[in-house]
Amino acid sequence: MSNFLYLFRGGDEAYSKLSQEEKQAHMQVWGEWMGGLKEKGQLLDGLPLGEDGKVVRNRGELVTNGPYAEGVEVVGGYLIVSAKDIDEAVELSKGCPIFDYDGSFVEVREILSMDGH
């Protein structure tokens, strides 16, 4: 088994237009999806990310407010899941509620160990 990082991008604009009740209902769907992964022992960690942040460049010589990019480019949250390979990790991601919003996507990346790097 390997660990994989899901980076969630997009959907923020559409989500912000929902009523409070719709937001709560959507978060329940997220909870059910993540709960299913947890029950199978495949969810290791994950949280939403705040909108504000800082971008550090040039070894700290340049620090700017951010990240500010097109809405679909901003990372809204992450999960770390355990899967036998990237194909299984991709298959697990297909149930993600972020796909309820057009243009949203999940970036799936294997988390490598520092051994041999």
Element spanning 89, H or E? helix 86-93
pLDDT category of residue 76 using cuts at 50, 70 and 90: confident
Q: State whether the Cα torsion 87-45-107-94 is positive or negative.
A: positive
Longest CA pairwise span in the chain (Å): 49
* Number of other residues whose CB lies within 10 A of the CB of residue 37: 21
Q: What pLDDT does residue 116 have?
A: 67
* Number of other residues whose CB lies within 10 A of the CB of residue 81: 26
Between CA 56 and CA 63 the distance in angstroms is 5
Q: With 70 as the cut, is the pLDDT of residue 68 above it?
A: no
Q: With 90 as the cut, is the pLDDT of residue 108 above it?
A: yes
pTM of the model: 0.86
pLDDT category of residue 100 using cuts at 50, 70 and 90: very high
